[in-house]
Amino acid sequence: MALEFYRFIKTHAQAQPDHPAIIDGEATVTYAQLVDQVERFAGGLDSLSISPDGKLGLLCLNQKEYLIAFLGALLKGLPVVPYNFMLTPEDLIYITRDAGVDHLVVNPVFIKPETVPFFSKFKVLITTSPAPDLGLPVEGTVPFDNFLRSAQPDKAQPRHSRAEGIPDVIMYTSGTTAKPKGVMLNESMFDANSKGVEAHLPFQPEDRAIMALPLFHSFGNMIALLILRVGGTLILLPQFQPKAILTTIDRHQATVLPLVPTIYSFLVQLVARGEYNISSLRYCISGGAALPHAMLHKVEDLMKVTVLEGYGLTETSPVISVNTIKEGSLVGSVGPVLPDVELKIVNEQGQAVPQGDVGEIFVKGATVMPGYWKLPEENREVLTTDGWFKTGDLGHLDEQGRLYISAGSKKDLIIRAGENVAPLAIENILINHPAILEAAAVGIPHQRLGEQVVACIVLKEGYQAVESELKKYCQEKLPPFSVPDHFQFYETLPKNPVGKILKTQLREEVRAALNSA
């Protein structure tokens, strides 16, 4: 029985009952209120008919009800399945069936005439606000506040009796190349991971973190649990909106800002205009994708704040390494490995390489998933018999044991005329160009070269650039085999809900565009 995070918020509620735990728009939830509502939600689950195989789905925006339900389900021992609300309806249906979700907490914004058949399949719908009258089964639908009011607080007894082999949380990957895969995770893994992160980022109860990262994503989940672990305050924003982020920092005197690299590129443009007071910020955290070197410098110079870059995967719950508050940022490095996480760099044969050499990153430890839900073949592919997880990412370690993501993902590596071309190296050069806002390099099949390099570019507002100019710029700064063969210009690059560029989709779009040219 885990209950780590219930114990943390309970301790904070006793020590600082009136301290804000969550700020959600105009609503503030103190630690005392959070404990009461988490206990009530857990108690309310007793009134539902939940089978040993039952699971609770969460289809919400970033809102207090999500966190209350998540923590309440953990307290009760009921498995949780967070939904990525930006997936297609087909993927949502697939996840529901694959995981066996039969009860759902849902924001009514997702309930529409065309989605009623989907929602009607659940035994119980707990709506975060009154649902529209669209023919949903009244008997199985209850507003969240009513659910809490009618429940008796449950302080971890009795726990839900669930079937063997079901984890605390099944967190699905975005499924850009195939069906989403359910990553099996447990509360003890979140506890170990947040404890390790806290060793590098020792935040305090006085810290206030902007939560624009989706809570259903592993990055957002980790930040939320870390802040609640230390007794700090989460300031929830429903989505990535650069102006809203900066305004909220000023309004609530936020001290911590975790984001992905693509969002920082928009923030620095706004900050440069001098319209926002963000002096309360102490640290920015960057994860989810590699942060271009030039962008790190821009954020630190313009926002007057240290940027701490980290690295992790949903499968490692999620953080593997992160730079420390004590040492600050180090260009190109995602920091030292967390305590109790083992890491090695291996070659194609799975053998450890000398320090400084590039290879695939393997990790092992208490934060590594036991496997994907109901996917034994995939588990055999990514998990070795002695417990190492193959990340699929390429990196190296320096003399101090700090990790560098040297070339990005193995699947993104471009092989042009027999030469290995690292997209990350090209992107770091392009983002330094004064006209470029965003850049992504992808490989496209080519009959003679094997693959050709295509740079996908988003220009800053009011700036212009042409292919010949950008190619000359790259020729001056890159080896000949890494210079992009083509440049494609976009108004925006496709991204997942966290803001990470979807290179698989981008490759398909570029390939179609070049074939039709």
pLDDT number for residue 139: 66
CATH number for the domain spanning 209: value is 3.40.50.12780
Residue 466 and residue 354 in one domain: no
Residue 94, number of CB atoms within 10 A of its CB: 16
Residue 95 and residue 110 in one domain: yes
CA distances 11 to 15, 35, 120, Å, are: 6, 10, 39
Threshold 0.95, pTM exceeds: no
- At residue 189's C-alpha, the angle toward residues 187 and 191, to 5°, is 70
Whether omega for the bond prior to residue 318 falls within 30 degrees of 0, making it cis, is yes
Q: At which of 377, 409, 441 does a domain end?
A: 409
CA distances 203 to 230, 287, 311, Å, are: 7, 17, 18
CA distance 22 to 5: 15
Query: Residue 481, Cα to own-chain centre: how many angstroms?
Result: 33
Does the residue 126 lie in any domain? yes
Residue 443 and residue 376 in one domain: no
What are the pLDDT tens digits along the chain (517 aa)? 468 999 999 999 999 999 999 999 999 999 999 999 999 999 999 889 899 999 999 999 999 999 999 999 999 999 999 999 888 888 899 999 999 999 999 999 998 888 888 888 898 999 999 877 777 765 688 999 999 999 988 877 788 999 999 999 999 987 555 688 999 999 999 999 999 999 999 999 999 999 999 999 999 999 999 999 999 999 999 988 899 999 999 999 999 999 988 889 889 989 988 889 999 999 999 998 788 888 899 999 999 999 999 999 999 999 999 999 999 999 889 999 999 899 999 999 999 999 999 999 999 999 999 999 999 999 999 999 999 999 999 999 999 999 998 777 888 889 888 787 888 889 989 999 999 999 999 999 888 888 899 999 999 999 999 999 999 999 999 988 899 999 999 999 998 877 888 888 999 999 888 887 6
pLDDT number for residue 109: 94
Residue 273 and residue 232 in one domain: yes
Residue 235 and residue 290 in one domain: yes
Residue 432 and residue 467 in one domain: yes
Residue 43 and residue 101 in one domain: yes
CA distance 369 to 26: 37
Residue 387 and residue 433 in one domain: no
Boundaries of domain holding 498 = 413-516
Q: Is 464 exposed, middle or buried (0-12, 13-18, 19+ CB in 10 A)?
A: exposed
CA distance 69 to 319: 23
Does the residue 427 lie in any domain? yes
Question: 76, 81, 67: which is closest to 48 by C-alpha?
Answer: 76
Residue 250 and residue 357 in one domain: yes
Does the residue 3 lie in any domain? no
CATH number for the domain spanning 138: value is 3.40.50.980
Listed in sequence order, the residues at least 6 apart from 35 whose beta carbon sits closer than 8 Å to its beta carbon are 6, 9, 10, 13
Does the residue 93 lie in any domain? yes
Question: 402, 405, 369, 413: which is closest to 388 by C-alpha?
Answer: 369
CA distance 304 to 284: 10
Residue 215 and residue 319 in one domain: yes
Q: Name the DSSP letter for residue 445.
A: E
SS3 label, residue 222: helix
pLDDT number for residue 516: 76
CA-CA-CA-CA torsion sign (443, 285, 461, 435): negative
pLDDT number for residue 459: 96
pLDDT number for residue 361: 96
pLDDT number for residue 175: 55
CA distance 446 to 339: 44
> Into how many domains does the chain fold?
3
Question: 23, 4, 61: which is closest to 208 by C-alpha?
Answer: 23
CATH number for the domain spanning 452: value is 3.30.300.30
Does the residue 19 lie in any domain? no
Whether omega for the bond prior to residue 158 falls within 30 degrees of 0, making it cis, is yes
